[in-house]
Structure 1
Amino acid sequence: MIKRLSAVAVVAISVFAAPAFAQSSASTTGSGSITVIRPLTITKTADLKFGTVVRPASGSGTAVVSAAGARSVTGGVVGLASGDTPAAAAFTVAGEGGQSVSVTIPASFSMANGSDTLTVTTSNSLTGSAASQVLSNALGSAGSLAFTVGGSVPVASTTTTGAYTGSFTVSAAYN
């Protein structure tokens, strides 16, 4: 009887002590999405022009073209009405409406006349940070951002006469 009771106990323990079978697999569903937008383009619509100026007889001054396109002169520099009409450079960024873009405009650039150079310090018409501009319109429509670039250039009594030219690169990227 003891053997039988022992056998029953072993069977009972085996039944109750058997591990529960864990689920061997699980699954869930994921999803994907994408928003496709227009590529950015940037177009120059006008160049920065300081016009024709007369260097000062002594000392130095500046020729300035504001981002609005108005020329002013200081320190004995004289602006003439002849030659190129002073103007700010103008650019248009185009892309997907409502998107944030970062515009990069150099702080300065050089203009050369042979081996002689003048350094232009730039200004611009962007409102707020150039790194967080927003294209017009809304997602699904074409958007744009127009802005201008002016500058200031020093002219000394010792500045070599002649035509000075140079270029600068303006760029834009989606944020």
Structure 2
Amino acid sequence: MKTLLKVLVMAGCTALAWAAGTGVSQAATATAGTSATVVLPVTITKTADLQFGKFMSGASVGTVVVDTANAQSVTGGVTTTAAFSTTAAAAAFTISGEPTSTYAITFPAQTDLTGPGTPMTIGSFTTAITSGGTLGTFVGGNETLKLGATLTVGASQASGTYNGTVDVAVNYN
């Protein structure tokens, strides 16, 4: 009887072990592919400074405008003079990065030029880019950015050289 009981217990354990390994529990696996793409960083390099050129201040406030085609114009109490070379020029930059990528340009609303007199304010920036904000299709696509602006000149502004900077940033869209 003890032997029969041992055989039945062992048969029952074997049946449970077999049932546990056959279909009661099932595992499945799958494989996913992986990838990564490294792009060129976007860069901006200054190739020319923004130059408002030479002009004379008058009895009232005026402006000097330099457009993206390097032309100088004046309004109000400011007079340009043919006696001096105006040397007006828009700022120029080269933008480089991942070909066919689009980008955005940012710059401040205004900045100042400081010198011997009251600071003068630069604002109303204008831009011209060679392809509308999409980098060229060749490796290391480049674009040229031209930046013009309006300089507000005070009445009877002190003569001398005034200097300042304008920070221009570029980011991928």
**Range into which the TM-score falls when normalised by the shorter chain:** 0.7 to 0.9
Q: Between the two proteins, what is the percent identity of the paired residues?
A: 36
In structure 2, the CA distance between the partners of 1:144 and 1:21, relative to structure 1 (3 Å rule), is same
The partner residue of 2:24 within 21, 24, 44 is: 21
Matched to 1:78, the amino acid is T
Residue-by-residue CA offset, 1:78-107 (whole Å, 9 max, x unaligned) = 113425510000011011211122222222
Distance in 2, Cα, partners of 1:61 & 1:33: 58
After TM superposition, where is structure 1 displaced by more than 6 Å over at least 4 residues in a row? none
Contact 1:51 1:80 in 2 (8 A): no
1:66 paired to 2:64:
no
Distance in 2, Cα, partners of 1:61 & 1:157: 7
Q: Give unpaired runs (5+ residues) of structure 1.
A: 1-17
In structure 2, the CA distance between the partners of 1:84 and 1:71, relative to structure 1 (3 Å rule), is closer
Deviation at 1:46, TM superposition (A): 0.8
The partner residue of 2:97 within 95, 98, 103 is: 95
1:169 paired to 2:167:
yes
Residue-by-residue CA offset, 1:6-48 (whole Å, 9 max, x unaligned) = xxxxxxxxxxxx996141x221111111112222221111111
Question: Pairwise CA RMSD of aligned residues?
Answer: 2.4
Deviation at 1:66, TM superposition (A): 0.8
**Count of aligned positions:** 151
* Aligned counterpart, 1:78: 79
